[in-house]
Structure 1
Amino acid sequence: MRILTKGMLFVPLITAVCIAQVSYAKKEDSLELNKSCVKLYPLAAGDTDADLISLYTQMCDKTNRKNQALLSGLQIQIAQKYQAQGYNLKALQAVAQLRNQNISTPEMTDAEFLAGTAISQNALNHMRTVELRSLSEEAYQPAKILVDTIRFAQPVAQNRETAFSENAYNKKKSNKKAPPKIAAVKKTKAEAPKSAAAKAPKTNRTTAPAVKESAEKASNSSPFETFNKK
């Protein structure tokens, strides 16, 4: 009997837990903004993310509507959230709304840049994989300018790395050019004995007749000539 009573107690607990989980899941699935809030912020239409709805709910709260600094901060967070979740067009629209209010922050610019980069990357991937083509001339020129601008605007640490790699590359190029110079020096050194050897016979030819003439004079002269002169 005790075993049966314990089992009868556990069954209702398990069913209650299951019902609670199902109801919580339904609440998450049906998480939506009020229609009045969507009218104030049409960009929120169709959003079901809990964080986004929480941010919009704070913006729609009557007590927060007069706090312009709070509303601007919430809008910036919404733009960042859109960009992080891959809703890049909504992120750009959120940033555009802030700029229309003469609001500009680095966080906005980062979200705008990342959203625009993601859109361009998706378009390029579609072009290469689906349409099987390269960039047109009209599209390539601004893309090249963007790449050059990104290169000049890269972080300081990245600038140091690229400068170091460029210096290493230049050193490798200079080292590759060095062997021909050494070979040229070796050639000149090797040619030096040949030139000396080439000059040697000329000197011997000029001195040889003089030696023969002196020898002939010595043979023709008499040893008694000195006494005859006296």
Structure 2
Amino acid sequence: MVRILPQLLSAWEKGQRVPRPEDVARLLGALRVDDVTYDRMMRLARHARDDNWLDSNPSDLPPALSGIVEYERTATRITNWELAIVPGLLQTPDYARAILTNSEIDLPQADTRLVARLNRQGILAGPDPVRITSLVGEMAIREEIGSAEVMSDQMDHLLTMMERPNISLRIVPANIGYHPGLIGSFILYEFAGMQPIVHLENSHATAFLHEDDVVRNYRRQAKLLAGKALSEDDTRAMLREVAR
């Protein structure tokens, strides 16, 4: 039996206070979670007080994806900018497989990541799906990944996803001069009753940023990119052209 004041537990649930790792360990012990879940949750607990969290081992699936999966599951809105590839939540299985099998990841790990990525897309459906605003660089739809057929199917899939009321997709055209989005991609997660979080990722590290000034800067960047993006109608026209 774990004795915790109801007020303290409520503050944890609302994100008003951060539980200590030892408190998390006691709760996990009382819940009798499996070893994988225990390790994943304790990793999150140890980094919860960090101003920013950098995970430098993204090849280890449970720790690397645990934060992303949880943020996607609990977010009310996700805004992402993708410079050169289609956003993961909007990828077809063949497109995702082509990326993972060419990412210096061994085959079993690539298969595991593929299943995880496709399962994560479940947040886009259901009675109360997350709202997605995706701003995507033109390079992402012009660069052939996998094959011409894979790309055509991916474009058709994006067109289908755009029919959903909770998904907005707009292309930022190429050759429009410098803008901050050329530096790299990012994802902004927003929650009910919690501070927003920015996710950055490259081939060797994953960072989660939640300082107020940092989040504000990425909000401004998303607004700037939205101002340069095509309308949804023009985006559909470009996707249809690429799909031919």
Whichever structure has more helix as a proportion of its residues is: 1
TM-score (norm 2): 0.24
| TM-score normalised over the length of structure 1 | 0.25
Structure having the larger proportion of residues in strand:
2
Q: Which has the higher contact order (CA 8 A, sep 6+)?
A: 2
Larger radius of gyration: 1
